[in-house]
Amino acid sequence: MNMLILILIGPLFVVIALLTIVLTKTLSRKNLFDVFDFSTEGRLTVLTGLPVTYDLSAIEKVFFSVMKSRKGMNYTGRFKILFANGSKSRPFLFDYSVCTKKFTLINTKEDIEKAAHYLMNQLKQHHIPAYFAE
């Protein structure tokens, strides 16, 4: 019986520990609402969800889109990175928080479009082409 409890509860403790580590790292960032971090070594770190780092030279372009939620009138932004070798990144999500620098619960389509243009300008400053997907 004790072994069964350990088998059932053990993975739960592992998941809780991993979530604690991820949340602690995320919430301890000084720029909590930033999506991109450009390093002086020519690398781009995407900070949404679990951070992922790419070489700027490997990025060909970035495509942005707006998604409507299944329920209600809320919208979310999404982007994918297209690499020079033809592969694509996973989709990354963002909202209007990147512009307001505080949590936003409701995002209109116009809010997401403004946020996308804000992020596109950041990419273009580092010579990365960025477009709205059609």
CATH T-level fold of 32-132: PH-domain like (2.30.29)
Cα distance between residue 127 and residue 56, in whole Å: 9
User: Residue 62's closest CA among 25, 101, 28, 35?
Assistant: 35
pLDDT digits (tens, 9 = 90+) for 39-98: 999 999 999 878 899 999 999 999 999 999 887 789 999 999 999 999 999 999 999 999
Most confident of the ranges 8-12, 47-51, 101-105, 115-119: 115-119
- Record the pTM: 0.76
Domain residue ranges of the chain, discontinuous segments joined by +: 1-30, 32-132
Which amino acid appears at position 5 of this protein?
I
Cα distance between residue 33 and residue 119, in whole Å: 12
User: Which residues lie closer than 8 Å to 38 by C-beta, 6 or more apart?
Assistant: 44, 45, 56, 122, 126
